């Protein structure tokens, strides 16, 4: 993609029903020179919410994904590839444990208890599956549980990946 430029979207999970994918593809077609699109699978720099269903996250924290209602990433990727664009996936690598931004920035942070149920649910899941919820285990679980499922599902629908704040 050398010498090309593109457009990216960071989509809020609570607003996935509002997107008209065909209309957006048509608008991008009207912009000369666009060669690729980057679609945020995670909700911007927040790694705790995703615009597509996930077998684990959709169960342990209902609001972390749109559930089975809509797979907006799949719709975007399918439509843009059919229109001849390269599709890049963006994910924030802090994952559901919010390793970079912390619990206070979680979508479900409770100011009274100073906790985020989504983080606690993820840590509980990781501890039960891996035997520990230390930082390295949380990173490993993020890669093996979250990233792996999406990579396997969308493997033929993406032309590359971009990640935010890896550590």
pLDDT at 166: 67
Q: Output the average pLDDT for the chain.
A: 88
Tokens describing residue 93? 């690598």
Tokens describing residue 9? 């979207």
Collect all residues with Cβ–Cβ distance below 8 Å to 167 and sequence separation of at least 6.
93, 99, 100, 139
**pLDDT higher at 60 or 16:** 60
- Cβ atoms of 163 and 90 within 8 Å: the answer is yes
What's the average model confidence in pLDDT over 114-127? Answer: 93
Is the model's pLDDT at 150 over the cut of 90? yes
DSSP 100: T
Is the model's pLDDT at 149 over the cut of 90? yes
pLDDT at 167: 63
Backbone angles phi, psi at 48, to 5 degrees: -100, -10
Q: How far apart are CA 112 and CA 93, in angstroms?
A: 28
pLDDT band with cut points at 50, 70 and 90 for residue 106: confident
Is the model's pLDDT at 123 over the cut of 90? yes
pLDDT at 143: 92
């Amino acid at each position: 993609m050398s010498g090309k430029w593109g457009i990216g979207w960071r989509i809020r999970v609570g607003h996935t029903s509002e997107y008209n994918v065909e209309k957006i593809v048509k608008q991008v077609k009207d912009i000369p020179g666009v060669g690729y699109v980057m679609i945020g699978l995670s909700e911007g720099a927040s790694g705790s919410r995703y615009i597509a269903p996930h077998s684990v996250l959709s169960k342990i924290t209902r609001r972390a994904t749109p559930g089975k209602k809509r797979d907006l990433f799949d719709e975007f990727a399918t439509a843009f590839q059919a229109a001849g664009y390269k599709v890049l996936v963006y994910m924030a690598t802090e994952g559901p444990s919010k390793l970079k931004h912390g619990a206070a920035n979680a979508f479900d942070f409770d100011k009274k208890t100073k906790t985020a149920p989504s983080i606690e649910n993820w840590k509980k899941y990781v501890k039960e599956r891996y035997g520990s919820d230390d930082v390295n285990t949380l990173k490993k679980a993020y890669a093996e549980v979250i990233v792996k499922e999406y990579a396997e599902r969308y493997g033929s629908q993406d032309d590359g990946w971009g990640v935010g704040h890896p550590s």
